[in-house]
Amino acid sequence: MIKFPVLFSPISERDIEDHYVWIASENKKSADKLLTSIQNIIGKLSSMPEIGTLFPISQNLSQKIRYLPISGFKHHLIFYAVTKDHIRVLRLLHSSRDLNDITKWE
């Protein structure tokens, strides 16, 4: 089984940090669980890159974007793109945000 490297965009790294800090301000255990759940998803993506749902708005883009909910945090979504040689995590967003403005994703 081929495993693809997973790369994080700078904004996705900030997203993860921001979500961690926000959740930790209320419950550090939950924030730690968020990081563990993200690590688990990354492990799955590495071996099954197309496991996520195709994000409809990306149909007309050169880069197709997929997303997955984070286990235990159903409103937190990881958005990523698959290339021929790696996976790029683009964002970690809460589902209550306007997800259609992808111009702000990089």
pTM: 0.85
For the chain, how many structural domains are there in total? 1
Q: How confident is the model at residue 2 (pLDDT cuts 50, 70, 90)?
A: confident
Residue 88 lies in a domain: yes
Q: What is the pLDDT of residue 105?
A: 53
CATH number at residue 76: 3.30.2310.20
DSSP E strand boundaries for 30-71: 53-54, 65-70
Query: What is the C-alpha end-to-end distance of the chain, expressed in Å?
Result: 30
Q: 51: which residues sit within 8 A by CB, 6+ positions away?
A: 44, 45, 66, 68
**Full residue range of the structural domain in which residue 92 is found:** 6-96
Which parts of 9-72 are beta strand (E)? 53-54, 65-70
Asked, for residue 105, whether it belongs to a domain, the answer is no
